[in-house]
Amino acid sequence: MSQSPVVIGVDSSTQSTKAAITDAATGRLLAVGRAPHRVTGEGGARESDPEVWWDALREAVAAGLKEAGVAPGDVVGIAVAGQQHGLVVLDGGGRPLRPALLWNDTRSAPQATALTEALGGPEAWTARTGSVPVASMTASKWQWLRENDEAVARAAAAVRLPHDFLTERLSGAAVTDPGDASGTCWYATATGGYDEELLTLLGLDPELLPSVASTGATRVGTLTAGAAAELGLPPGVAVAAGTGDNMSAAVGLGLGGAGLLDHPALSLGTSGTVFAATRTRPATPALAGFAAADGTYLPLACTLNCTQAVDKVAALLRLDREDAVPGGEAVLLPYLDGERTPDLPAASGLLTGLRHDTTPQQLLGAAYEGAVVTVLRALDEVSRACGLDPADPEVAGRPIRLVGGGARGRMWVETVRRLSGRPLIVPAGGELVALGAAALAASAATGEDPVAVATAWQAGEGTELAPVERDLETWERVGTVLDRAAPTLLA
């Protein structure tokens, strides 16, 4: 039995659901329940049945509570952090009309280009939304649906993001939050609400959308009787508005108005993501200018090809992922699924600089280097969006908080150190997205600031690694290949 109230932070990601059963007072992770998802699609298609997410949430919560030995009456709050951008289209009964289009579904790249041009170019979009439509963004996916599955688009009674869908199942409230909403490209960070002109451009009825919770208003209700029964929890458990996975990770790291500002984080997962919380509203076409969960902003860049792409190269070479050395003259851009940052949706992998004495281990090391240079170049853009010069020694001396599955891999950590030349902090606690959601759940139950809650939990603290001399030779070699190849990769 727990000695204090417990909150549940749910991380509903692309591949699985994790439910972090967390001591609300200390942030101690009591258990993590897990359940897999199923992703389907070939080529650029990536889809999942939203009902699978709900089943996985129930399974993960049940497994976590059982492992932790927590009594249902000890649970006081729950929040969901979901994969961003996914398009969920529901009927009048709240049931999916079709599988959800996921963030990494690239079929809507032509629609993204057309939308960008229709409003007058990238700067016109960033002035309103902070972001430019790319294949990842929900607006592009809605436009694709209108053009390719018109009957479903016409039949839609509700349009949701993945985390909205789950929050509504928990609470009955059709509500989203500013952070996840800012990844749709129909929510304007400039005004803090849905943009009517953009909705007209998209042919999207605002009545189909959830309301947007006020900044800081994390509680949207309590568990419905039906949801409580399915989860085996009391109906009075507080439900938070939740947020997107990246915004939740920022909360978990203590980044935001009540914590660190302008300090970057780098997440190494299926995608490579870099972000920082700032008070400066980002408006640059080079990255996504999201809102954060706490009223600040979250300039963010995401690369499609990170750990999964490098693992694929390792499998092709029949090597263990750690059996790698620096790439030497070889350069490998592992853009196996197109790329989001830089915006190269039709790209494939590219290998150059191959020699007779190039080893398989060097080829694998070159894949690491290609992925890391890509994400570190994006990190420089995030710094600029915060109003900082990445070449400033004070800025370059700030540690990067390295999270995600790759942060547990020796080769990933050493490649980031070598190519960044910056100190790293590798947080001791895992599951930062779920822990950020747990902090939101605690906020819903108590009214405290969620970033202050996470900061007190010290979830973002961990091993500090001193900087090493930066490998500028490799940095420049990979960057030169990328810059020269980009026009060809666009074809």
pLDDT tens, residue by residue, 229-279:
999 999 999 999 999 999 999 999 999 887 888 889 999 988 899 999 999
Name the catalytic one among 105, 245, 262, 294.
245
Query: pLDDT by residue (tens digit) across 277-292?
Result: 999 999 888 889 999 9
Sequential DSSP letters for 182-251 = TTSSSEETTTTEE-HHHHHHHT--GGGSPEEPPTT--EEEE--HHHHHHHT--TT-EEE--EEHHHHHHH
Between the alpha carbon of residue 303 and those of residues 186, 292, 308, 402, 416, the distances in Å are: 22, 19, 11, 15, 15
DSSP state of 270: S
Query: For every one of its 491 residues, what pLDDT tens digit does the chain have, with 9 covering 90 and above?
Result: 445 899 999 999 999 999 999 999 999 999 999 999 999 999 899 999 999 999 999 999 999 999 999 999 999 999 999 999 999 999 999 999 999 999 989 999 999 999 999 999 999 999 999 999 999 999 999 999 999 999 999 999 999 999 999 999 999 999 999 999 999 999 999 999 999 999 999 999 999 999 999 876 689 999 999 999 999 999 999 999 999 999 999 999 999 887 888 889 999 988 899 999 999 999 888 889 999 988 899 999 989 899 999 999 999 999 999 999 999 999 999 999 888 788 888 899 999 999 999 999 999 999 999 999 999 999 999 999 999 999 999 999 999 999 988 999 999 999 999 999 999 999 987 789 999 999 999 999 999 999 999 999 998 889 999 999 999 999 999 999 999 988 877 55
Instruction: Classify strands 193-194 and 350-352 as parallel, antiparallel or unpaired.
Output: unpaired
275: which strand partners?
Answer: 265, 300
Beta-carbon contacts of 357 under 8 Å, excluding residues fewer than 6 positions away, are: none
Task: For the chain, list the domains and their CATH numbers.
Answer: 6-246 (3.30.420.40)
* Contact indicator for 360, 396 with CB cutoff of 8 Å: no
Q: What is the pTM of this model?
A: 0.89
378 φ/ψ angles, rounded to the nearest 5 degrees: -65, -35
Q: 311 near 324, Cβ under 8 Å?
A: no
Does 357 participate in catalysis according to the annotation?
Answer: no
Report which of 384, 191, 371 is spatially closest to residue 276, judged by C-alpha positions: 384
In the block, tokens 């849905």 appear at: 194
3-state helix, strand, coil in the chain (%, to 5): 40, 20, 40
